[in-house]
Amino acid sequence: AQRVTQPEKLLSVFKGAPVELKCNYSYSGSPELFWYVQYSRQRLQLLLRHISRESIKGFTADLNKGETSFHLKKPFAQEEDSAMYYCALSPGGSNYKLTFGKGTLLTVNP
Amino acid sequence: KAGVTQTPRYLIKTRGQQVTLSCSPISGHRSVSWYQQTPGQGLQFLFEYFSETQRNKGNFPGRFSGRQFSNSRSEMNVSTLELGDSALYLCASSLVGFGYTFGSGTRLTVV
């Protein structure tokens, strides 16, 4: 079975501070990991995929297979980063089922 | 390039009724998935269609069904509605090898 755990429901930081949103997963194979973001009153948007290894809006995420983690990081948080962040896992291949964590609500205070 | 379009945006139905939700994927995307989002359970996978065939299915009762047409548009049907079916239903489309693009959702309220 596949499972995604985001241990923090809420995370509050000040502008300019580093931020790390934690994501741990459980899956026996080699999954694809994603981070999705939902800004207030907007649709769910793809932020990062682990296989692309890119940085979007200053966010990065590294897949740690040993610790089965895919934490999202940004060195200097901005107020516009305030949103709901979801970590998600897909088995890959032809299996398009996404399993989501419960999400972390990030608030960046001025 | 148009995004994923879901209609209607809002629906209010009575217990026992049935409902059909529609999703038009991004042009060229052949995979369409459906998710249920609730405050208590979060985002849960319902099913996924590719080239008119259901490839994957989540753990939902048989009252939840779907289909995909030859133009990749998809519909989701819920029969014998229950109060617990009140949720935001999201559709996502995908191109092989890329991520999933979500629609704005249909907010279903069962009274």
Residues of A with Cβ-Cβ distance to B43 under 8 angstroms: 86, 88, 98, 100
Contacts with A3 (C-beta within 8 Å, 6 or more apart), sequence order? A25, A26, A27, A99
Cβ–Cβ < 8 Å for A34, A50? yes
**Test the B interface: residue of A90, A98, A99, A104 with most B CBs within 10 Å:** A98
Cβ–Cβ < 8 Å for B49, B66? yes
Tell me the average pLDDT of chain B.
Answer: 94
A43: nearest CA partner in chain B: B104
Query: Which residues of chain A fall below pLDDT 70?
Result: none
At CB < 8 Å, which residues of chain B contact A?
3, 31, 33, 35, 42-45, 48, 50, 55-56, 58, 90, 92, 94, 99-105
pLDDT digits (tens, 9 = 90+) for B19-74: 999 999 999 999 999 999 999 999 999 999 999 999 889 999 999 999 999 999 99
pLDDT digits (tens, 9 = 90+) for A24-52: 999 988 888 999 999 998 999 999 888 77
